Amino acid sequence: MTETRNPQRGEWRQWRQFAALAEELHFGRAAARLHMTQPALTQAIAALEVAVGTRLFERNRRHVALSTAGAALLPEVRELLRRTQALPALARSAAQGESGSLRVAFVSTVGYGLLPPWVRRFRERWPRVALELVEATSDVQREALARGHIDAGFLLHAPGADLPGLQRQALASEPMWLALPESHPLAARARPSLTAVAAEPMVMFPRRILPEVFDALVQLHRSTGVEPVVAQEAIQMQTIVNLVSAGLGLAWVLQSVRQFQRPGVVYRPVALPRGLSAPVCETSLVWRAEADHPVLQRFVEAGRAQ
């Protein structure tokens, strides 16, 4: 049985010669078109037929025609040549950051304001870039960046936090507010006192996600002489707010989370004793310090222009 091999195993030049002869169906005209001698073209086609294992042309001294196999290959060869000819332009486009792919992770809180216009602007300016967005907590993002699983990430961190091996663009700095059930007695106050808040069970994010901010909140509670009672842990801010709505406790959330209007939940700043302030959390876009990624630079520029 004759085996027809993958046409991409042939050299690009051989398939160009095949296409020229298939279109001219005349060795002399095809050779002239290719700027080569007719005997050289005859030898090249014969060598190609040996390589693929079957005849591509039926020919005699007066007539040249595509064989069944040749006719079947011609559309594929034309597509191969078209794609091959496009490679230099594609390489230049990728080198300039105008095409390619980018993997970006984000914490849920940037979805309330920062992320949508950023992504919209980037897609409008660079439509040929495949942008992959994945939601992940800050601790997961740092590990993914270290392993090269993502190219950049929108993450949360404490002010002045050390981010070794990463470059960053600071985006926002927000104080922590309180989320509480609308029916809770403290919801009637414009600024509940820290002492009253500290006596309530809390819904908290795990310490591993934002250890410095977690510790600052614990110290804030302890300043009232009360150890914080963590009734429930949850990772995502939306989940935390939903659990507050269910009456499982109060929760410290970023000020921007107020845009997440969950029925039955209200947001309040907390009245703090003199000398104390609510913990602050920063949002940054980060990427590996050694990254040489033209598309990433376009993505960073899109945010700066915004």
CATH code: domain of residue 40: 1.10.10.10
Other CB atoms within 10 Å distance of the CB of residue 117: 12
pLDDT digits (tens, 9 = 90+) for 204-254: 999 999 999 999 999 999 999 999 999 999 998 889 999 999 999 999 999
How far apart are alpha carbons 290 and 202 in whole angstroms? 41
Rounded to an integer, the average pLDDT of 9-33 is 84
pLDDT at residue 4 is higher than 80? no
Same structural domain, 265 and 288: no
Pairing of strands 129-135, 100-106: parallel
Same structural domain, 224 and 241: yes
How sure is the predictor about 99, in pLDDT bands with cuts at 50, 70 and 90? Answer: low
Cα dihedral across residues 213, 217, 222, 223: positive or negative: positive
Same structural domain, 179 and 269: yes
Which residue, 47, 73, 95, sits at the end of a domain?
A: 95
Same structural domain, 164 and 287: yes
What one-letter code names the amino acid at 167? Answer: Q
Same structural domain, 245 and 276: yes
Residue with token string 């086609």: 45
Rounded to an integer, the average pLDDT of 140-145 is 94
What is the per-residue pLDDT for 86? 62
Confirm whether 192 is domain-assigned. Answer: yes
H-helix or E-strand spanning residue 31: helix 27-34
Same structural domain, 258 and 119: no
pLDDT at residue 188 is higher than 60? yes
Write out the two tokens for 261: 């209007």
Q: Please list, in sequence order, all residues whose beta carbon lies within 8 angstroms of the beta carbon of residue 266, skipping any fewer than 6 positions away.
A: 179, 180, 181, 182, 187
What is the per-residue pLDDT for 241? 94
Looking at the 3D structure of the chain, how many domains does it have?
3
What is the per-residue pLDDT for 3? 39
pLDDT at residue 132 is higher than 80? yes
45-59, 72-86, 91-105 — most confident range: 45-59
Q: What's the CATH code of the domain at 232? A: 3.40.190.10
Q: Which domain holds residue 129?
A: 100-171+283-305
Same structural domain, 82 and 152: no
